[in-house]
């Protein structure tokens, strides 16, 4: 198990990560531009209503981020991270070409039928086929690419640990700069030049990034796949259930663990912890067995891997609501902007380009955070990243509450102005308040989660674990779609007008502000749960430190004796003439 690093010592580092940054930037440039614009493409070209367009986009995002798990699983089990990125990147380019063809060919556009969705037959099959092939390619690529870059550093070395913390900041910086180009240049092409040309630019950009990633192969530390992480987890659960009636030994040292000779050179040993003691029953050695079998007994390290994943789950769950809020900003805010004044002096700004403001703010803040705040915080906390990953996530969750609250007030101001006689359009840049605050929140939370899931994961599950960040995004988008449907179903029964908060195609007759405030209240409750989960969580490094004072010295002494006995036995055993093995 574990990352088996192939290559000479000079490989890896930021030189290798440069190629990763190129692909992540060029791919994200098209993905962000597509993501914030497609709600208009669905509404104007594919003839969805507001709820239909919003849910189609959030379902697309949800599927994309859910499929990140597929990329993570494949790269941990079957292919290297590098090969996985190439495979899914190719699928992504193919799907963008298909979207380009549909956007260009009017025969692949449905007629406006006045319903929630007008797609049917072959046109619907082509539309959803290309859209969800895009989800598969993009998801598999995104689920693997951050871990490919992180694997270029040796975190066991103090310098490597600091470089790893900086890597995630630079990764976000590269994607942010590219996203700025996407929401300005590519969105301009979408709105003024044609949807097909925007999709074509995204296709070419992703292809160039994929070629750059392939060129960088000689510089990479290639992490080869190992034993399936899902199989290892299943073994622990199955054996623990089988042994549920057995009593745990008073001394954890009596639980099963392989010695240093049997371990693979790169395999880590995780000391025993006292949380989730029921899982320890998987490490009870069967009395009727002379040899350990995978589905009969598991090592303490294997059990602790499952415990780590179990400890991560509440943290993962606590970030879903924030991503639900993000999904609404990517859909409702674009719809709001269509009824606002897009002019900045003599410049007319496309509505989907408004996210350039928080992206610009992030592009300024990330270097300040990396080069000023982190060194200062390191001196105080001694942490390689300045503050812990969970502290970063907590800051982001608080800011997301503030963003949703402001979004509700901005919508009240916009709607009241537009519903005057004659209608008055407030400036599009009123949306920048909610976007900028949420942009900062995303800067803290996204990078914090990426680093958290990568560093805390067992060595053989790092790509899969890193993709948990995108799993939170996936659930957030699916929950967004569910919230829209549930809120509409409930409010149309209790409001005097008998209309839901987000009904129909005219947002000026809706109550989107109430929906934003509903998300703000849910986010406050979610933050309380997050605080409890973060306080309860114990970092893997802290587990190691605690365990060393009680168990590691004993285990090392046992292993030294095993090594000594093994060496003496090797000297006394004759070697056959035709075989140099014992």
The secondary element (H helix, E strand) that includes residue 53 is helix 50-66
- Say if residues 499 and 492 touch (Cβ distance below 8 Å): yes
166 vs 14, 145, 161, CA distance in Å?
10, 16, 9
Please identify which residue in the block is written with the tokens 């994929």: 210
**For residue 422, cis peptide bond before it (omega within 30 degrees of 0):** yes
163: number of CA atoms within 13 Å, CB side? 18
Residue 224 bridge partners (DSSP)? 4
- Say if residues 192 and 40 touch (Cβ distance below 8 Å): no
Write out 240-287 in H/E/C secondary structure.
Answer: HHHCCCCCCCCCHHHCCCCCCCCCCCCCCCCCCCCCCHHHHHHHCCCC
Please identify which residue in the block is written with the tokens 């009904």: 503
d(CA 35, CA 575): 66
Residue 348 bridge partners (DSSP)? 343
Q: Indicate whether this model's pTM tops 0.75.
A: yes
Close Cβ partners of 93 (under 8 Å, ≥ 6 residues apart): 137, 203, 206, 207, 210
| Tokens, residue 469 | 């960040």
* Predicted local confidence at residue 92, as pLDDT: 94
Residue 344 bridge partners (DSSP)? 347
Q: DSSP states of 90-137 as a string?
A: HHHHHHHHHHHHHHH-GGGSPP--SSS----HHHHHHHHHHHHHHHHH
d(CA 168, CA 152): 12
Backbone angles phi, psi at 406, to 5 degrees: -65, -40
215: number of CA atoms within 13 Å, CB side? 12
Task: Provide the residue-wise pLDDT of the chain in tens; the chain has 582 residues.
Answer: 444 444 445 788 889 999 999 999 999 999 988 888 888 888 888 878 777 787 788 788 888 888 888 888 888 888 888 999 999 999 999 999 999 999 898 888 888 776 667 788 888 899 999 998 999 999 999 889 998 988 888 877 777 777 887 898 899 899 999 999 998 899 889 888 889 999 999 999 999 999 999 999 999 888 777 777 888 888 899 989 988 888 888 788 878 887 554 554 445 677 888 888 888 888 888 776 556 677 888 888 888 888 888 888 898 898 899 888 887 777 777 778 878 888 877 777 777 777 787 788 888 888 888 888 888 888 888 777 788 889 889 999 999 999 999 999 998 998 888 888 788 888 888 888 888 888 888 888 888 888 888 888 887 788 888 888 888 888 887 888 788 888 888 888 877 766 777 766 677 877 888 889 999 999 999 999 999 988 888 776 544 444 444 433 444 444 444 344 444 444 444 444 333 332
Helices 68-77 & 229-242 angle (0-180, nearest 10):
90
Looking at residue 48, what DSSP letter applies?
-
Residue-wise pLDDT for 197-222, tens only, equals 999 999 999 999 999 999 999 998 88
d(CA 21, CA 470): 18
Q: What is the largest CA-CA distance in the chain?
A: 102
| Tokens, residue 198 | 């925007």
d(CA 537, CA 310): 10
Domains and CATH numbers, the chain: 4-225+306-538 (1.20.1250.20), 229-298+541-572 (no CATH)
């Amino acid at each position: 198990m574990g990352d088996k690093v192939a290559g000479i010592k000079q490989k890896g580092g930021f030189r290798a990560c440069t190629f990763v940054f190129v692909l992540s930037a060029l791919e994200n440039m098209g993905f962000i531009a597509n993501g914030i614009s497609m709600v208009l493409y669905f509404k104007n070209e594919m003839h969805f209503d507001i709820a239909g367009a919003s849910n189609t986009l959030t379902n697309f995002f949800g599927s994309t981020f859910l499929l990140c798990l597929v990329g993570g699983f494949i790269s941990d089990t079957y292919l290297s991270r590098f090969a996985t990125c190439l495979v899914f990147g190719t699928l992504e380019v193919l799907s963008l070409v298909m979207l380009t063809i549909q956007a260009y060919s009017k025969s692949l556009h449905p007629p406006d039928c006045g319903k929630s969705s007008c797609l049917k037959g072959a046109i619907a099959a082509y539309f959803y086929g290309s859209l969800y092939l895009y989800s598969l390619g993009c998801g598999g690529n995104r689920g693997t690419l951050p871990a490919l870059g992180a694997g270029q550093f040796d975190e066991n070395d103090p310098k490597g640990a600091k470089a790893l913390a900086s890597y995630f900041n630079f990764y976000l910086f590269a994607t942010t700069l590219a996203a700025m180009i996407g929401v300005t240049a590519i969105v301009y092409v979408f709105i003024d030049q044609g949807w097909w040309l925007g999709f074509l630019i995204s296709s070419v950009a992703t292809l160039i990034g994929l070629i750059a990633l392939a060129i960088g192969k000689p510089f990479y530390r290639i992490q080869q796949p190992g034993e399936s992480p899902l199989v290892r987890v299943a073994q622990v659960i199955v054996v623990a259930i089988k042994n549920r009636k057995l009593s745990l030994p008073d001394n954890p040292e009596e639980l099963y663990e392989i010695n240093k000779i049997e371990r693979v050179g790169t395999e880590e040993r995780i000391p025993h912890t006292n949380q989730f003691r029921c899982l320890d029953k998987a490490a009870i050695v069967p009395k009727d067995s002379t040899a350990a079998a995978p589905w009969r007994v598991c090592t303490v390290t294997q059990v602790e891997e499952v415990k780590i994943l179990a400890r991560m789950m509440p943290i993962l769950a606590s970030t879903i609501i924030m991503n639900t809020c993000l999904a609404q900003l990517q859909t409702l805010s674009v719809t709001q902007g269509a009824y606002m004044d897009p002019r900045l002096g003599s410049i007319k700004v496309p509505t989907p380009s408004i996210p350039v403001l928080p992206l610009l703010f992030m592009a300024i803040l990330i270097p300040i955070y990396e080069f000023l705040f982190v060194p200062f915080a390191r001196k105080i906390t001694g942490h390689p990243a300045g503050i812990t990953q969970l502290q970063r996530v907590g800051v982001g969750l608080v800011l997301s509450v503030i963003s949703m609250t402001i979004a509700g007030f901005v919508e009240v101001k916009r709607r009241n102005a537009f519903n005057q006689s004659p209608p008055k359009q407030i400036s599009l840049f009123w949306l920048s308040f909610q976007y900028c605050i949420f942009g900062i929140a995303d800067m803290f939370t996204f990078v914090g989660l990426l680093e958290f899931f990568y560093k805390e994961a067992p060595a053989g599950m790092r790509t899969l674990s890193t993709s948990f960040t995108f799993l939170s995004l996936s659930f957030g988008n699916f929950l967004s779609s569910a919230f829209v449907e549930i809120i509409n179903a409930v409010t149309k029964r209790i409001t005097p007008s008998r209309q839901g908060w987000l009904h129909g195609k005219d947002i000026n007759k809706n109550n989107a502000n109430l929906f934003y405030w509903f998300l703000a209240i849910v986010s406050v409750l979610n933050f309380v749960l997050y605080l409890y989960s973060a306080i309860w969580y114990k970092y893997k490094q802290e587990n190691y430190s605690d365990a060393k004072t009680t168990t590691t010295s004993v285990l090392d002494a046992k292993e030294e004796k095993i090594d000594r006995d093994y060496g003496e036995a090797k000297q006394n055993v004759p070697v056959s003439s035709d075989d140099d093995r014992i």
